[in-house]
């Protein structure tokens, strides 16, 4: 049992009762994956570091606009609860690398554009 599970048991009587009767510990729930998070996780860390600052906006599935210095910083924010709270739950579009490139404050390097040209967010698997 870790400290997060203990906190859940102390704050949630139903979870404590379930633990006492069945012995099952509460399972930590992770935030659902957003389309932007899915896209960013499929780009290699070295490629993410080459991307210029990115402006998150409703075009990428978020309610407000905010600029991040690099894609790695953006990925960490998107994975957090704060990032998920800004997510538009009605946004269902599958994001492409071209959508991310358009959100950059400067044009991305040509090598990244050519590498991901025509990609529809499925870099790990053949499309």
* pLDDT < 70 positions in the chain: 29-31, 118-127
d(CA 126, CA 116): 13
d(CA 38, CA 124): 11
pTM of the full structure:
0.69
Could you tell me the two tokens for 70?
Answer: 């690099």
pLDDT in tens, 25-45: 888 766 678 999 999 998 999
d(CA 66, CA 87): 12
d(CA 14, CA 31): 21
Could you tell me the two tokens for 71?
Answer: 């894609």
Q: Domain spans of the chain?
A: 1-30, 35-115
């Amino acid at each position: 049992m870790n400290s997060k599970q203990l906190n859940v048991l102390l704050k949630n009587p139903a979870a404590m009762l379930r633990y006492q009767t069945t012995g099952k510990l509460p399972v930590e729930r992770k935030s659902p994956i957003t389309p932007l998070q899915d896209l960013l996780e499929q780009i290699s860390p070295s490629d993410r570091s080459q991307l210029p600052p990115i402006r998150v906006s409703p075009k990428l599935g978020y309610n407000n606009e905010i600029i991040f210095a690099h894609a790695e910083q953006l990925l960490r924010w998107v994975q957090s609860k704060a990032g998920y709270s800004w997510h538009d739950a009605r946004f269902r579009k599958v994001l492409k690398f071209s959508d991310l490139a358009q959100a950059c404050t400067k044009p991305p390097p040509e090598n990244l554009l050519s590498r991901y040209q025509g990609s529809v967010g499925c870099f790990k698997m053949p499309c």
